[in-house]
Amino acid sequence: MAISGNNGHLNFIREEKPALLIIDMVKDNLEPEHPLPITEAANRITGPINSLVTVCRDRGWPVIFSTDAYHEDDFIFTGRMQPHSLAGTRGAEITGSLDYRPGIDTWLPKPRFSAFLQTGLEESLREQEVTLCAVAGITTNFCVLATVLDAICHGFKAVLLEDCSAAYPEINHERTVEMYRKNPLYPLLRVAASGDFKQPLY
């Protein structure tokens, strides 16, 4: 596992109220019965995500799942992308391999790539006094990145969780992570590993 975090600084979490945002980890993307190119990589990150979910719940940090909820005649399916994660279908449900707990966690279906678009996410974060969004899920270079950048645009610090996100091919994940590991918005936007969020808070 790559060592992440800029300048080796692991204590930044102590100053924040984080929320964990988990992006597009749905049955259509993860179930092996109808595998997609991303399926294998997506299944590999369920363990690290579940581990971080437990830490967040124990510390009273919000856990928010945001997933694609498209329509079959959606504009984005007029290009190369094939219909998937259709609103109201089983395939658009959160994968059973993640520890999602209704009534404790929040599930926000989204009409496009960013979890902030027409979901009420910003209002929910403000109400819970969140200051930082830690973003996990798929894919690193599309919906995860869109959410990370939108967090900044809405006035939240943002962390791209390198060991809890994935893309296909893997080089797309690696290049995205490296591109943002050193960026002019640091420390407002940073790359980190889930272990950074497990450091003692005292």
- Per-residue confidence at 10, pLDDT binned at 50, 70, 90? low
Query: Among 80-89, 124-133, 179-188, 192-201, which stretch is predicted with the lowest mean pLDDT?
Result: 192-201
More confident site: 9 or 53: 53
More confident site: 44 or 202: 44
- Does residue 61 register a pLDDT over 60? yes
- Does residue 8 register a pLDDT over 50? no
Q: What is the pLDDT of residue 33?
A: 86
**CB atoms inside a 10 Å sphere around CB 131:** 13
Nearest Cα to 87, choosing from 78, 97, 74, 104?
Answer: 74
Q: What is the pLDDT of residue 124?
A: 98
CATH T-level fold of 14-198: Rossmann fold (3.40.50)
Distance of CA 79 to the CA centre of its chain: 24
Nearest Cα to 152, choosing from 177, 126, 133, 125?
Answer: 133
CA 148-150-156 angle, to 5 degrees, is: 80
- Does residue 44 register a pLDDT over 50? yes
The per-residue pLDDT of the chain, averaged, comes to 93
Decide: residue 45, CB within 10 A, 0-12 exposed, 13-18 middle, 19+ buried: buried
Peptide bond into 169 cis (omega under 30): yes
Virtual CA dihedral for 67, 193, 61, 31, nearest 10 degrees? 30
Tokens 């918005």 belong to which residue?
185
